[in-house]
Structure 1
Amino acid sequence: MGNQNKGDKYREIMSIGNFTKHAIENFEHNIVEQKDYLEKVKSHEAFENLK
């Protein structure tokens, strides 16, 4: 029974690790998208100021 508890704890730690990994990847992806959006807005504003 002790081995089963260790296995359950290991699986729980693995699932938390996977959750954290995916959260970080999503965060990084969102940061890149936000940066691209801000660059487009800045470019558009600069273009509008030239008119």
Structure 2
Amino acid sequence: MSRNNDGDKFKNIMSIGNFTKHAVENFEENIVEQKNYLEKVNAREKSKDDN
């Protein structure tokens, strides 16, 4: 049982790491490629808060 639980924990940590890696890569690409990217993200977040 313990070995199975350890494997599940590792898979969960690995998937979180992959998600984070891809999120950071996506963020970096958008910062480089898009003008005013942070302002767009900020405006989108504010509009979510208003709803």
Q: Shared fold by TM > 0.5?
A: yes
Percent of pairs identical after alignment? 74
Is 1:33 matched with 2:29?
no
Q: Which runs of 5+ in 2 are unaligned?
A: 36-51
Which runs of 4 or more aligned residues in structure 1 lie more than 4 Å from their structure 2 counterparts after TM superposition?
Answer: none
3-state SS in 1 of match to 2:6: helix
Query: Greater CA radius of gyration, 1 or 2?
Result: 1
Task: Give the structure-2-normalised TM-score.
Answer: 0.66
Task: Give the structure-1-normalised TM-score.
Answer: 0.66
The answer for the alignment partner of 1:16 in structure 2 is: 16
Report 1 or 2 for greater relative contact order, CA contacts < 8 Å, sequence distance ≥ 6: 2
CA distance in 2, matches of 1:4, 1:34: 44
1:24 maps to amino acid: V
CA distance in 2, matches of 1:34, 1:7: 40
Matched residue count = 35
The answer for the alignment partner of 1:6 in structure 2 is: 6
More helix by share: 1
The answer for the alignment partner of 1:38 in structure 2 is: none
